[in-house]
Every structure is written in structure tokens, then in C-alpha cells.
Structure 1
Amino acid sequence: MAKLYFYYASMNAGKSTTLLQADFNYRERGMATMLWTAAIDGRAESHAIKSRIGLGADAHRYDAGTDLWDAVSRRHADEPLACVLIDEAQFLSSGQVWQCARLADEAEIPVLCYGLRTDFRGALFPGSATLLGIADSLVELKAVCHCGRKATMNLRVDAGGGAVIEGAQTEIGGNERYVALCRKHFREALGDPH
């Protein structure tokens, strides 16, 4: 029985690296995969999915209007897929997450989603909230705060390194815009707004 997986973590935990390693493992064994990532993240120049340690791969890009059930089902009919891997899964809509569940349940294709659990305010992303609610398997990947504790939060910072407490939920960026912190240091950086 195929399952829907959600691998979640803060920034810098190796989500994309882990996805790319899983993809390599399937392909090394001669199995077909289909990779997806959010169209909103246009930072990668040569590869749609790129890890901070330099690994990369081409991928399909989804946006709010993408019907994952239809796109994956059509590809699966032409070439049976062993697995679907989705990076930046926090940007999936709730409906797209349910499409991923349908792919696992009806098409019998394992769907592995990788993404952030929360935004820079500590609030769940819609895609992450649905994945946390319905995924068959939840796997937390670990990142490390500067203090050595497990980093679970994503602090948005300005050009000077100061904490940003307001703004749109989604703002694409890497180490120049976000710092992974434990909850204690996240609260301290924000002046304990909670």
C-alpha cells in the first residue's frame, strides 16, 4: 500500500538534499520518479530543485492552479512511477495535498513531500497544515540552532540581520533572509510576541 509522507523541518535541515538522495536511490534501481517544486521559488538557475550543498535536479513546477492528480496520473499511464517527490510542499494548497493522498490511495504511488512546517511567525502554512493532518507518515528532519539545540523555527531577518516581524507569509530567500533557531531563541529574537 502506497503512502503519503511529510518530511518537515526548519530551514537548513537538508530537506532538498534528502529528497534528491531519495530520488537518486529510486533511479539507481531503474525506477521512474517524478519531481515537483513550487513555481513561486524561482531562485534555482540551472535546476528547479537545488540543495544548499550543491546537489540539484530538474523538476516540474506547480502553482495554485496545478492539478497534481491529473498531471501525475497522465505520466504514470505512460511510464509507471515508483514515487512522486515534492519539494517546498508548504506551498501546496489543501486541495493539492488531498490530490497527493488520492495518488497514494488510488494510483498506488508513494508521494514524498518535503517542506517547512511553519512560517517566520510560527504559523502553519496551509499545505503543511493539511499534510500534518492527513499524511500517513510524519518525519521531522533536524536542523541546529546556534546554541546547539534543535532548530524548529524560521526567523526572517532584514539586510542588517535584525528580526522581521511583519510581512507576507511567503517571501522566498535563503540564508540571507532566514535563520533557523530553537523556539527559545526565536522568541527572544522577536521580543517574545507570544
Structure 2
Amino acid sequence: MTKRLLFLVGDYVEDYEAKVPLQALEMVGYECVAVCPGKKPGDTIITAIHDFEGAQTYSEKPGHRLIITGDLASVSVDDFVGLVIPGGRAPEYLRLDEGVLELVRAFATAPKPIAAVCHAAQLLAAADVVRGKRVQAYPACKPEVLLAGGIWESPSAGLDSVCVDGNLVTAPAWPAHPAWLRAFVGVLGGELRP
């Protein structure tokens, strides 16, 4: 039986943080199902590309379309081995949806592995699943992590680090993909060989 992963996405999710992990995890044998509130299978969302170009914050450019492959309303935690929450601007408004928050809490309570990158920490904080947990995220999310009772772990200068605390695998941004995805597959019980 194929192991299934749930991707929680929305418009203006960070392109690299949604598409690259989805493709990489499918490459190593996982079936990835992308869901979004208000969207049904076959619908698309628009992504955004964030880059670090020497300004005081990241820049944003239009990304690609991502096809929704599952129906959020019929999702059951029991059907998935883990949850992936990409960053970008989507977590900012997804955290306002009580059904989304309940889903994140259900994965945390199960407990099933949760991979969250960048601004996904906003959603984790709103779902109250970081309390007492070590977390890395994009540095601008530090106040939310701390206010939600999380333990801030400073990311590397290159934003390419990862933090694992039990079932929670967090990273600051897409430069962390190699470390973040390797750690997540490890928490899922898989093994990647060089």
C-alpha cells in the first residue's frame, strides 16, 4: 500500500515550498494529496516565489499553478501518514479556518509527523500545537512561535537548517529543503541513502 501525505495549501503558498517537496516526496514513493479550503480536485491555486535578494525582507514574484488533488471536506487523518504545510502567504489566511485548525490539531494529537516550513509556523501557532516544542521558521514568525508557547530555535544564517522535536519537523525557508525533507522522511520511518 502506498503511503499517503497530505499537503495543506492555499493561494500564494510559496512555490518552492509546495511544489519541490511534493515532487521530491513522490519521487521517493509517497502519494501526495494537495487540499485547500474552498477548492475541489482539479481546481488550481496560484503560488508565489519568494527570494532573498539583499533587501530587508524577501521579494515576491508570481509563481505557477498547483493542482488540487483532494477534497479537504472528506479528508481523514487516518488516511495519511503525515502532514506537510508549506509557507508563503497561504498560512496567514488558512489559520482563520477552524476546519483547517482542527485538521492540524488532529495530526498533532495522533501523533503523526508534521513537516512545516517558513510561514507555516503561523498556522501551527494558531492551532496551538507548538506549545513546549522547539520550532524553526522564517525569522519574522518568531514572535508568533513564542506567543504560542513554542521554543524558538534560531535557524542557520543561510536558512538551510532543520529542527526536529518529536513528530514536528520545521525549517526556516526553502533553502532548507535537503535537510528538512531528509529529516521528515526519517521521522516518517523511511530512509534516504546518498
**TM class by smaller structure:** 0.3 to 0.5
Kindly indicate whether structure 1 or structure 2 has the higher relative contact order, using CA contacts under 8 Å at least 6 residues apart.
1
TM-score by length of 2: 0.39
Q: Mark the structure with the bigger radius of gyration.
A: 1
TM-score by length of 1: 0.39
